[in-house]
Structure 1
Amino acid sequence: MHYTNSRDIQKVDQHSIRVLHVVAGMNRGGIETWLMYILRHIDRDRFHMDFLVHTTQPCAYDQEIRTLGSKVISCPHPSRPWLYAHNFKRILRDYGSYDIVHSHVHHFSGYVLCLAKQAGVSVRIAHSHFDSSSIEAKAGWKKRFYIDLMKRWIARYATTGLAVSSIAATDLFGLSWQTDPRWQTLYCGVDLKPFQALVDPVAVRAEFGIPIDAFVIGHVGRFEQAKNHQFLLDIAAEIIKREPKMHLLLIGDGSLRTNIEQKIIQVGLKDRVILTGARSDVPRLILGVMDVFLFPSLYEGLGLALIEAQAAGLTCVFSDVVPDEADVVKALARRMSLSEPASAWAEAILAASNTVPKIIQTQAFEIVDQSSFNIQKNIKKLEKIYLGKYISR
């Protein structure tokens, strides 16, 4: 895989504001998909965005990023701070001056923004995309020390802090975040245009061998602990006892895929679960295949997939740890406690599926379209943040 180096650097219009986004890697996930929405729709003459990634492996969005005129710059070894610092500062030096460093790597943003300050970057943004407080509560003393240090550095070195929800802001910026003018919420927007498309459910279901009369539960999310796939499969096993036509569509990939495949066999759902892997056509699958959206996350910063499911007009059954801001279409939202057994979740899903919807898809779409989750509104707010911080520096 060829990564851009200093010889590939092209001079960017001197009037554009140059932003360096720091991410783990540009694979398909909530943060990365949102950043791609921004890159596709932002005024790229006024804002030039590059992506510093913590991997040397190719990622799903790399080619599109380059096609759109931006760079993917590898800066590996975040676990080796001295080497990382050397590489980070070399990148800032070699690629010309960046006006803004916008970091999306949660606690590690403390170190990133410290290095950006040392390199003379005047606008430094920490972006909180999730609430990790439940993990922090169980952390050992070494992890706890690291987290506390990073939060102190974020408070010291960030000129701006953004968060996808109030609980995500509290997690990274503290309980009194609202008293500090640097911190604010910026809900991640969704490109809603694909949810206006006409989709043939017969054809889309046929692609996956799903009968047209099947009752399909859907989920979109990385195969990682936070998404709680183990419990999701327990719920599906309960549902099929009551609804033999049930099928489960899981969109995503991740480090726990093998564990999930083993669990599918263990609970006897081998012929009823479809693993699609990471997909570029998620809206089409949500519209064309799913009847109900299930989202039993252990923790979330927001849950963009949940917003998309509401735009598609699906009843959404999700854990009550998901931020309140995700309840965009109230008529479609069903919150459940993770302390409830899988059987109770199953009953709630079946009850919702047997209830006549209070709202049709076009109405649900309109509510999301008018909300802060519309990508166009989202970009205007982000541009205002960038311009405001850049001009006032």
Structure 2
Amino acid sequence: MTSVDRQTIRILHVVGGMNRGGVETWLMHVLRNIDRDRFQMDFAVHTEKPCPYDDEVRALGSKIIPCLDPAKPWLYNRNFKRILREYGPYDIVHSHVHHFSGYVLWLAKQAGIAVRIAQSHNDTSSVQAKAGWYRRVYLALTEWWVDRYATVGLGVSYKAAASLFGSAWSTNPRRQILYYGIDLTPFQSPVNSVAIRTELGLPADAFAIGHVGRFIEQKNHVFLLEIVAEVAKREPRMRLLLIGDGSLRPEIEQKVIQLGLTDRIIFAGLRPDVPHLMLGAMDVFLLPSLHEGLPLVLLEAQAAGLPCIFSDVITEEVDIVKPLVRRISLSRSASDWAEAVLSARGDTSAITQSDALGVLEKSSFSIEMSVKELTKVYQANFPSC
């Protein structure tokens, strides 16, 4: 039976796991808001471990399907094609695993999937430039596969698109930008700041710096701690709220002890209520990342009306609410960053939260706009659905 007969387009998304990262959170926004009668989304994941979004994915009628052994291509080949046979037929394979998408879409082509989408969510060009010869061979091969087997290429920003599709990507009609969209509803209701801060152990009068991100090298947590150590010298009421988890968390916890900041840092772990924490517990948002595609957390921070201090390597498309954003070079000292953070705290007249939210609502970064553009991509190949 064809997808036109079914009047439903079946999409298999390929992700590492449905964790609370930017990619996965955007996919959850999409799943919650897309017409699930017309678009059936399942998720092939590279883990058997339970992930935070798994239960909600299933509750919304989608499947979580482990596809293991990505580091062993011959086994992954067998596992992936078995999934297509057992859970299909799928009309679209939509891969979100950056360069590995090349291999995924090659396998999808072999299995007869006509529509194969590679989506780039990150700008890894600075990391690729330092790769050794073995990694360079892998990158060259997977980029060739992406170019050959991706019938559609999507980038969440211009930098993210160039990172996977090459600097001339915009001349290829099969490549385009698809911005993240966020659900702005949680930012429309007032929150009880006193209750939120009490729950987190934040003093009511604390100057709270917020950060949301996995504990991985990309997020630059060591430099983040150096910045807040400088802020602490100038502002004794400073607290840092770290939301997230990851492999480097133990190392960062040790660094906190070394810097004598144990009573100033709150490790909040993974949280499902990031918008409420931004609205009720943070005064400034800090993101000194080494690289990003289009950080969803910066969209959320602006929707919350927070002054945002972040590295100038981050793509400029994220500068939506201009009065709230300030870029700083990573070559500047931690002391310079600290001064920027303290200056942002004092600028209370920049823009109100409600006005900042209004700017986001009219932008390309609402979930309604994002879902609309994504469904256009899907329907372009199935005009009768």
TM class by smaller structure: over 0.9
- 1:217 alignment partner, SS class: strand
Q: Using the TM superposition, give the Cα deviation of residue 96 of structure 1 relative to its aligned residue in structure 2, in angstroms.
A: 2.1
* Cα shift readout 1:169-194 (whole Å, capped 9, x = no counterpart): 00000011010000000011101100
- 1:391 alignment partner, SS class: coil
CA distance in 2, matches of 1:185, 1:158: 15
Is structure 2 residue 219 aligned with structure 1 residue 227? yes
- 1:98 alignment partner, SS class: coil
CA distance in 2, matches of 1:202, 1:259: 31
- 2:6 alignment partner, SS class: coil
Task: Give yes or no for contact 1:49–1:70 (8 Å, CA) kept in 2.
Answer: yes
CA distance in 1, matches of 2:154, 2:382: 16
What is residue 112 of structure 1 aligned with on the other side?
104
Q: Using the TM superposition, give the Cα deviation of residue 390 of structure 1 relative to its aligned residue in structure 2, in angstroms.
A: 2.9
What is residue 125 of structure 2 aligned with on the other side?
133
Q: Using the TM superposition, give the Cα deviation of residue 354 of structure 1 relative to its aligned residue in structure 2, in angstroms.
A: 1.4
What is residue 153 of structure 2 aligned with on the other side?
161
Q: Using the TM superposition, give the Cα deviation of residue 392 of structure 1 relative to its aligned residue in structure 2, in angstroms.
A: 9.4
After superposing the two structures, state which structure 1 stretch, 376-385 or 351-360, moved more: 351-360
1:263-282 correspondence runs (5 A): 263-282=255-274
CA distance in 1, matches of 2:272, 2:347: 31
Is structure 2 residue 65 aligned with structure 1 residue 73? yes
CA distance in 1, matches of 2:49, 2:315: 33
Letter in 2 for 1:67: A
* Cα shift readout 1:86-133 (whole Å, capped 9, x = no counterpart): 010011011121000000000000000000000000000000000111
Q: Give the alignment partner of residue 291 of structure 1, picking from 283, 297, 302.
A: 283
Structure 2 residue runs of 5 or longer lacking an equivalent are none
What is residue 20 of structure 2 aligned with on the other side?
28
- 2:112 alignment partner, SS class: coil
What is residue 351 of structure 1 aligned with on the other side?
343
Letter in 2 for 1:372: S
Task: Give yes or no for contact 1:99–1:390 (8 Å, CA) kept in 2.
Answer: no
CA distance in 1, matches of 2:274, 2:246: 16
CA distance in 1, matches of 2:347, 2:296: 25
Q: Using the TM superposition, give the Cα deviation of residue 355 of structure 1 relative to its aligned residue in structure 2, in angstroms.
A: 2.1
CA distance in 1, matches of 2:349, 2:71: 49
What is residue 113 of structure 2 aligned with on the other side?
121
What is residue 302 of structure 1 aligned with on the other side?
294
Q: Give the alignment partner of residue 311 of structure 1, picking from 295, 303, 307.
A: 303
Q: TM-score, normalised by structure 2?
A: 0.98
Task: Give yes or no for contact 1:109–1:126 (8 Å, CA) kept in 2.
Answer: yes
Q: Using the TM superposition, give the Cα deviation of residue 208 of structure 1 relative to its aligned residue in structure 2, in angstroms.
A: 1.4
- Work out the percentage of aligned pairs sharing the same amino acid: 63
Is structure 2 residue 315 aligned with structure 1 residue 323? yes
* Cα shift readout 1:249-300 (whole Å, capped 9, x = no counterpart): 0000011110110111111110010011110000010000000000000000
Q: Give the alignment partner of residue 10 of structure 2, picking from 9, 18, 21.
A: 18
Is structure 2 residue 244 aligned with structure 1 residue 252? yes
What is residue 382 of structure 2 aligned with on the other side?
390
CA distance in 2, matches of 1:333, 1:241: 24
CA distance in 1, matches of 2:15, 2:224: 28
What is residue 7 of structure 1 aligned with on the other side?
none
CA distance in 2, matches of 1:62, 1:357: 42
1:37-186 correspondence runs (5 A): 37-186=29-178
Letter in 2 for 1:349: V
- 1:390 alignment partner, SS class: coil
Letter in 2 for 1:213: D
What is residue 217 of structure 1 aligned with on the other side?
209
CA distance in 2, matches of 1:390, 1:271: 57
What is residue 353 of structure 2 aligned with on the other side?
361
Letter in 2 for 1:211: P
- 2:182 alignment partner, SS class: coil
Task: Give yes or no for contact 1:30–1:303 (8 Å, CA) kept in 2.
Answer: yes
Q: Using the TM superposition, give the Cα deviation of residue 14 of structure 1 relative to its aligned residue in structure 2, in angstroms.
A: 2.1
Q: TM-score, normalised by structure 1?
A: 0.96
* Cα shift readout 1:366-387 (whole Å, capped 9, x = no counterpart): 0011111100011011001100
Letter in 1 for 2:101: S
After superposing the two structures, state which structure 1 stretch, 13-22 or 243-252, moved more: 13-22
